Structure 1
């Protein structure tokens, strides 16, 4: 018996695209801000949010406003600069996406797709910026720490209640909720897309292929999703960490083969 849902596949495919799309490099004026502490954002963005909401539920309302104010500009930056194939004249497309997400908040497909694209764009920008701002080794360790902390919170039933509060929170005044993505019955948190985009950003910075790891993430996620046969919630950052480990192992294998080739 296999677990499979088309709605979930849409979100998983979008997460995989976040690996393939980030480009590399940061503006020169931002290079002065490079530092290893940026890698701490990865595990803290989950732990701090969950603990904050658990202790102070109104934190969720603040985060909805943060998402509303920062995600559309982040998407515009992706369209105009941060992603492969970006063009400056594509950046204004973030405006109609926000308008659709705002107008269609009743669970309709257009509103859900617009919200998903806005989130994807914003994390692609963050992935490129982090790939250029943090030492890559620390970024990789931070990505694994993020997945580990996410898994501990999910399988320990610590994440579900605060996450439900966050997903239900709204900025008010009829404004759209951009803090998570949903497609019919399936949903995925912002951090899950963020993790994938950071993987894409560090691969782009190292000038490694991104399409194959993106496809690998899709395959690994489909395998990981078989656990839905026994549980209701899964940490979608774990497949990202698994793909990162696979990429690193494959790189080591290729390196050893190149070293051994002259002797052969």
Structure 2
């Protein structure tokens, strides 16, 4: 059986992104609702990989985008987007960024700060997307994201550009916020994003989120057994599997009730 404690930390953090999003968007943003938002999910992987393959400097741009947007996204999660949010908690994003910036030698405190910043920003995105796109289209988008990610990974197309992205630095000693690492384990921003979108969908549907989050851990542990035969796995697949499981369970319940 394959098991790595460092990877389990990231798996648990990814599962937490399912449990944390709350529901609803500000009324001001409701005018921007549209089905095309669901395209963000599959395109965020495909476009990034193609762009880095064609123009490697794209990775440098993306690491700056992450640096500029992830901390405010985390602040929004702490102050609004996640369950239990309080406006005054938003200020915690500042010391988290300071710790991630000051502690970049691979030690646990800096890695955890980076992880929390990424999780928070993904929770905010998950809530916003669930309020901006029709949920059925968002569900299809999440499944399409997992399928495209799997095709790229198992086709050995994603690994090289992903390595370029992970290695990209904004310079001037600034922190890298485009991926999360914990000792020898690593997970891309998109993996947490996929889980947070699943959480946003469940929150918008007023469905339980804790059980699917626990299911995410179980599915991820089973999925990780493929590490016995491959070196890289698409971590967007477990959220898609849990989504399919949730919908299948709901269909069975409706059949029983009918």
What TM-score do the two structures reach when normalised by structure 2? 1.00
Give the Cα–Cα distance (whole angstroms) in 2 for the partners of residues 139 and 171 of structure 1.
Answer: 32
Q: Report the alpha carbon displacement of residue 258 of structure 1 after superposing the two structures with TM.
A: 1.0
Give the Cα–Cα distance (whole angstroms) in 2 for the partners of residues 159 and 108 of structure 1.
Answer: 27
Give the Cα–Cα distance (whole angstroms) in 1 for the partners of residues 205 and 100 of structure 2.
Answer: 35
Give the Cα–Cα distance (whole angstroms) in 1 for the partners of residues 83 and 176 of structure 2.
Answer: 27
Paired position in structure 2 for 1:262: none
Q: Which has the larger radius of gyration?
A: 1
Paired position in structure 1 for 2:176: 177
Q: What CA deviation, in whole Å up to 9, does each residue of 1:177-213 have, x standing for no partner?
A: 0000000000000000000000000100000000000
Q: Report the alpha carbon displacement of residue 119 of structure 1 after superposing the two structures with TM.
A: 0.1
Give the Cα–Cα distance (whole angstroms) in 1 for the partners of residues 156 and 71 of structure 2.
Answer: 32
SS at the partner of 1:182?
A: strand
Give the Cα–Cα distance (whole angstroms) in 2 for the partners of residues 95 and 257 of structure 1.
Answer: 50
Give the Cα–Cα distance (whole angstroms) in 2 for the partners of residues 36 and 71 of structure 1.
Answer: 24
SS at the partner of 2:77?
A: helix
1:141 and 2:140 equivalent? yes
Paired position in structure 2 for 1:95: 94
SS at the partner of 1:47?
A: helix
> Matched residue pairs, number?
258
Give the Cα–Cα distance (whole angstroms) in 2 for the partners of residues 146 and 203 of structure 1.
Answer: 18
SS at the partner of 1:105?
A: coil
For the aligned residue pairs, the C-alpha RMSD in angstroms reads 0.3
SS at the partner of 2:256?
A: helix
Paired position in structure 1 for 2:27: 28
1:12 and 2:11 equivalent? yes
Q: Report the alpha carbon displacement of residue 228 of structure 1 after superposing the two structures with TM.
A: 0.2
Q: Any stretches of 5+ residues in structure 2 without a counterpart?
A: none
SS at the partner of 2:244?
A: helix
